[in-house]
Amino acid sequence: MSEGKILPEIITPSNKEVIVVGEQLNGEIRPVTLELLGAGRDLASKLGGSLSCVLLGHKLEKLPQKLISYGADIVYVADDSILENYQTLPYRRVIVDFLSGFTLPPHIVLLGSTTCGRDLAPRIAAHFETGLTADCTELDIGPYEHTNKIDPEKVGLYPNCLYAIRPSFGESLKARILGPWKNPQMATVRPGIMLPLKPDENHKGEIKTIPVDLKPEDYRAELIEVVHEVSKSVNLTEADVIVAGGFGLGKQDGFELIKELASCFENVAIGASRKVVDIGWIPYPYQIGQTGKSVRPKVYIACGISGAIQHRVGMSKSGLIIAINKDPEAPIFKFAHHGIVGDLYQIIPELIKQFKSNIVKEEKPLVRQN
Amino acid sequence: MTQSSLKDIFVLIKQVPDQSAKAGINPDGTIDRAKAKRMLNPFDRYALQAALHTKKHYGGKVTAITMGPPAALEIILEALEHGVDCGYILSDKRLAASDTLATAYALHKVIKYIGHFDLIFCGLQTTDGDTAQVGPQIAERLSLPQTTYCEDFRIEENKVIAKRVVEGGYEWVKMEIPALITVANSYHHLEYKSFRGARMVQHLLRNEEEKNKYIKTITLDTIGAEPAKCGLRGSPTIVARTDKVSEIGGSCKIHQGASQEQLVSEIIQSTNIKEFLKL
């Protein structure tokens, strides 16, 4: 492509800082923030820069120190009662002001692909007119040779680009997306994929307060009620066992069978593929996959789920994956640990039956005399 | 409860390739958009329903807006069949390869060009991009309050009260109008096409002049958008490469061809699943 010509090196101005926009809820750091610090640490050392975290909330107390132990060199803190819960406009204002305050822009800004991160990140990116890649599953740093002459001044070799890698077209593609012309380069990253560092109490870091300076227009929306239904069902991301249903259930009532199977387990949650959420058989909070939740339970039972990449990226790290599907060619059989080829309406009742008799057998030793 | 009345409701929709159809899907997994079967982005059906619901309960006129090749007329007609009042298609070759930022720039210019609005509805995301970024990016460009992941809303005293689904729960947000809402797929399904809408579309298809009154095809010049901020040139991100995801695994133990009793008992014997049963 370059026909032996050496491309000019183009350095996009930055202070080489990698910034993670942290999330907290009810006095706890959300797990995705610690995961982002793990990923960010690696990027920062490749860049030769520092890793920081910006945390917004109210009465944050020990939380900034915790972020330092998980790898942050600097924690920027905005502590104010209006920031207690996430709200688009106040959070947007504080982050925009904060990022505008650098003489040289940060190199990378990362957010979690959560309902907050996916709400906030596009606003920040649009404000700074910088690139943002959604729902990444891998991040890296590397060079990029731009040879497209549509904008001649852009042709060149860009070192230190953020490689934002994400599944694409819901199928079997992985796209590497770059935005080398402007910093910060931004990405949202799926929860449950990156690994946090082991906390190190000796890691030294700095805590800096940043201003909260809202304008009248930031009060055009008001949070009037927050409801967390944690008690109602086990949080998908914290369950030991997930029983998930897909289009192979054939009908909405199929979820009754899924519930019955789930009721055999301790600390269990129900999940679903995107297709059945799209057609309305089960609400969105149950969706597992690229555009739903990422989960890593000890046991994952996939019932009538074909296992497209968009589902796979959300659950492939589960401890034990058991798939039930009548199509022996279903992609899920490529990455499950155990697969049963058969009609789930015969297999699941049989599973329930044998689990119940197993429970009885398990109890037997208690009464049997040795 | 005070009656609220609205004048203009915008809904942003997109035509996407139908990924469940085999046509136009290249062996390497990329999509040949010219050959692929086209459809209305499934997430936009919820946005349409939200817009039509708003019209029904609070009044106003619903305008559907899309950006795409001329074939996008199909989804504007579909929207009209469902009861939308009129449509705009932003179609311009200079928009090719727009990323989310460039798309949001172009669409916000369309919105400014059309003029007054009370509410803008968008689908949560598209099935071909999966980013959920364009809605909030338009809200930023227009300096609007927003509610994403909205699954229910009502309008009281000229404010929108919107329910937003979040991890493990939900919240209610009260927003001043004008505002932008992205609609979750837990919202109500799109109702059937209306008889009036279908008849209207039949009428428009027979009468070009009438059609041009209700459906306007516009270009970057019409809306005064800067070409440098659109398309590939206006996009801060590029897809540098795509890789086929390597076929992982191959270590799956397949159980088949025996009675269900046998198959299930094999699973129970060969895994640690019993450890997780409720006693």
- Tell me the three-class secondary structure of B11-33, residue by residue: EECCEEECCCCCCCECCCCCECC
A18-219 with A236-367: one CATH topology? yes
A170 touches chain B (CB under 8 A): yes
**Could you tell me the residue ranges of all domains in chain A?**
18-219, 236-367
Overall average pLDDT of the B264-273 stretch = 89
CATH fold, domain B8-229, is Rossmann fold (3.40.50)
- The yes-or-no verdict on residue A318 having pLDDT over 60 is yes
Would you call A119 and B136 a contact, using CB atoms and an 8 Å cutoff? yes
The pair of three-digit structure tokens given for residue A145, joined into one six-digit string: 């040779």
B77-105 per-position pLDDT tens digit? 999 999 999 999 999 999 999 999 999 99
Assess contact for A156 and A9: CB atoms under 8 A.
yes
Closest Cα of chain B to A118: distance in Å? 7
Cβ contacts of A369 within 8 Å, gap of 6 or more: none
Whole-number Å distance between alpha carbons of A36 and A112: 7
- The yes-or-no verdict on residue A367 having pLDDT over 50 is no
Which pLDDT belongs to residue A234? 59
Categorize the per-residue pLDDT at A360 as very low, low, confident or very high, splitting at 50, 70 and 90.
Answer: low
Categorize the per-residue pLDDT at B231 as very low, low, confident or very high, splitting at 50, 70 and 90.
Answer: very high
CA A103 to chain CA centroid, nearest Å:
30
Whole-number Å distance between alpha carbons of A160 and A157: 10
Would you call B270 and A338 a contact, using CB atoms and an 8 Å cutoff? yes
- The yes-or-no verdict on residue A136 having pLDDT over 60 is yes
Assess contact for B89 and B218: CB atoms under 8 A.
yes
Overall average pLDDT of the A39-53 stretch = 97
Angle separating helix axes A117-128 and B100-114, nearest 10 degrees = 80
B114-141 per-position pLDDT tens digit? 999 999 999 999 988 889 999 999 999 9
Which residues of chain B lie closer than 8 angstroms to A182, CB-CB? 236
CA atoms within 13 A on the CB side of A292: 30
Would you call A127 and B189 a contact, using CB atoms and an 8 Å cutoff? no
Rg (CA), chain B: 23
- The yes-or-no verdict on residue B163 having pLDDT over 90 is yes
B246 touches chain A (CB under 8 A): no
Nearest CA in chain B to A144: B240
Whole-number Å distance between alpha carbons of A210 and A212: 7
Which pLDDT belongs to residue B269? 87
B40 touches chain A (CB under 8 A): no
Which pLDDT belongs to residue A293? 82
Which residues of chain A lie closer than 8 angstroms to B41, CB-CB? none
Whole-number Å distance between alpha carbons of A5 and A234: 59
- The yes-or-no verdict on residue A294 having pLDDT over 90 is no
Angle separating helix axes B100-114 and B134-141, nearest 10 degrees = 50
Which pLDDT belongs to residue A4? 57
The pair of three-digit structure tokens given for residue B183, joined into one six-digit string: 């609609």
**Could you tell me the residue ranges of all domains in chain B?**
8-229
Q: Return residues 40-79 of A near B (CB < 8 Å).
A: none
- The yes-or-no verdict on residue B33 having pLDDT over 80 is no
Assess contact for A35 and A191: CB atoms under 8 A.
yes
Categorize the per-residue pLDDT at B278 as very low, low, confident or very high, splitting at 50, 70 and 90.
Answer: confident
Assess contact for B99 and B237: CB atoms under 8 A.
yes
CA distances for A342 relative to A303, A322, A358, B158, B222, angstroms: 10, 13, 22, 55, 58
Whole-number Å distance between alpha carbons of A192 and A240: 14
Would you call B252 and A323 a contact, using CB atoms and an 8 Å cutoff? yes
A49-103 per-position pLDDT tens digit? 999 999 999 999 999 999 999 999 999 999 999 999 999 999 999 999 999 999 9
Least Cα distance to B123 among B99, B96, B160, B150 occurs for: B150
The pair of three-digit structure tokens given for residue A363, joined into one six-digit string: 């109890």
B54 touches chain A (CB under 8 A): no
- The full DSSP string for A85-132 is S--HHHHHHHHHHHHHT-SS--SEEEEESSTTHHHHHHHHHHHHT--E
Is the four-CA dihedral B57, B62, B66, B70 of positive or negative sign?
positive
Partner residues linked to A163 by β-bridges: A140
Would you call A171 and B189 a contact, using CB atoms and an 8 Å cutoff? no
- The yes-or-no verdict on residue A368 having pLDDT over 50 is no
Whole-number Å distance between alpha carbons of B50 and B276: 42
Q: Return residues 106-125 of B near A (CB < 8 Å).
A: 125
Mutation test of the interface with chain A: which of B163, B246, B260, choosing the one with the most A Cβ atoms within 10 A? B260
Which residues of chain B lie closer than 8 angstroms to A125, CB-CB? 101, 133, 137
Q: Return residues 164-183 of B near A (CB < 8 Å).
A: 164-176, 179
Would you call A118 and B148 a contact, using CB atoms and an 8 Å cutoff? yes
Would you call A134 and B148 a contact, using CB atoms and an 8 Å cutoff? no
Nearest CA in chain B to A338: B253
Residue A217 host element (H or E): none
A130 touches chain B (CB under 8 A): yes
Overall average pLDDT of the A231-260 stretch = 86
Strands A18-21 and A241-245: unpaired
Closest Cα of chain B to A91: distance in Å? 12
Would you call A177 and B239 a contact, using CB atoms and an 8 Å cutoff? yes
Say how many C-beta atoms besides its own lie within 10 A of residue B41's C-beta. 22
Which pLDDT belongs to residue A190? 85
Strands A28-29 and A51-57: unpaired
Would you call A123 and B104 a contact, using CB atoms and an 8 Å cutoff? no
Which pLDDT belongs to residue A78? 98
Q: Which of B43, B137, B265 sits opposite A354 (nearest CB)?
A: B265
Categorize the per-residue pLDDT at B1 as very low, low, confident or very high, splitting at 50, 70 and 90.
Answer: very low
Compute the mean pLDDT over every residue in chain B, rounded to the nearest whole number.
91
Mutation test of the interface with chain B: which of A136, A174, A276, A366, choosing the one with the most B Cβ atoms within 10 A? A174
B151 touches chain A (CB under 8 A): yes
Overall average pLDDT of the B40-66 stretch = 96
Whole-number Å distance between alpha carbons of B174 and B123: 20
**In this predicted model, which residue has the larger pLDDT, A338 or B252?**
A338
Whole-number Å distance between alpha carbons of B56 and B59: 6
Would you call B131 and A135 a contact, using CB atoms and an 8 Å cutoff? yes
Overall average pLDDT of the A115-129 stretch = 97
Helices (H), chain B: 42-58, 73-81, 100-114, 134-141, 195-206, 208-214, 220-223, 260-270
Closest Cα of chain B to A354: distance in Å? 7
Burial class (CB in 10 A: 0-12, 13-18, 19+), A11: exposed
Which pLDDT belongs to residue A231? 43
Assess contact for A9 and A161: CB atoms under 8 A.
no
Assess contact for A105 and A82: CB atoms under 8 A.
no
Nearest CA in chain B to A154: B233
The percent of residues in chain B predicted with pLDDT above 70, rounded, is 93
Strands A24-25 and B86-90: unpaired
Residue A48 host element (H or E): none
- The yes-or-no verdict on residue A26 having pLDDT over 90 is no
Which pLDDT belongs to residue B26? 67
Question: SS3 breakdown of chain B: % helix, strand, coil, rounded to 5?
Answer: 35, 30, 40
Read off the amino acid at residue B112.
K
CA distances for A95 relative to A36, A187, A211, A215, angstroms: 17, 15, 10, 13
- The yes-or-no verdict on residue B226 having pLDDT over 90 is yes
Compute the mean pLDDT over every residue in chain A, rounded to the nearest whole number.
90
CA B166 to chain CA centroid, nearest Å:
19
Which residues of chain B lie closer than 8 angstroms to A121, CB-CB? 133
Categorize the per-residue pLDDT at A369 as very low, low, confident or very high, splitting at 50, 70 and 90.
Answer: very low
The pair of three-digit structure tokens given for residue B249, joined into one six-digit string: 């695994």
Whole-number Å distance between alpha carbons of A55 and A64: 7
State in words which class domain A236-367 has: alpha beta
Closest Cα of chain B to A264: distance in Å? 6
CA distances for B102 relative to A112, A180, B99, B230, B232, angstroms: 23, 16, 5, 5, 8
- The yes-or-no verdict on residue A370 having pLDDT over 90 is no
Would you call B236 and A299 a contact, using CB atoms and an 8 Å cutoff? no
Which pLDDT belongs to residue A2? 44
Q: Which of B29, B168, B171 sits opposite A173 (nearest CB)?
A: B29
CATH architecture, domain defined by A18-219 = 3-Layer(aba) Sandwich (3.40)
A23 touches chain B (CB under 8 A): no
| End-to-end Cα separation, chain A, in angstroms | 78
Categorize the per-residue pLDDT at B245 as very low, low, confident or very high, splitting at 50, 70 and 90.
Answer: low
Q: Which of B137, B161, B189 sits opposite A280 (nearest CB)?
A: B189
Overall average pLDDT of the B50-61 stretch = 96
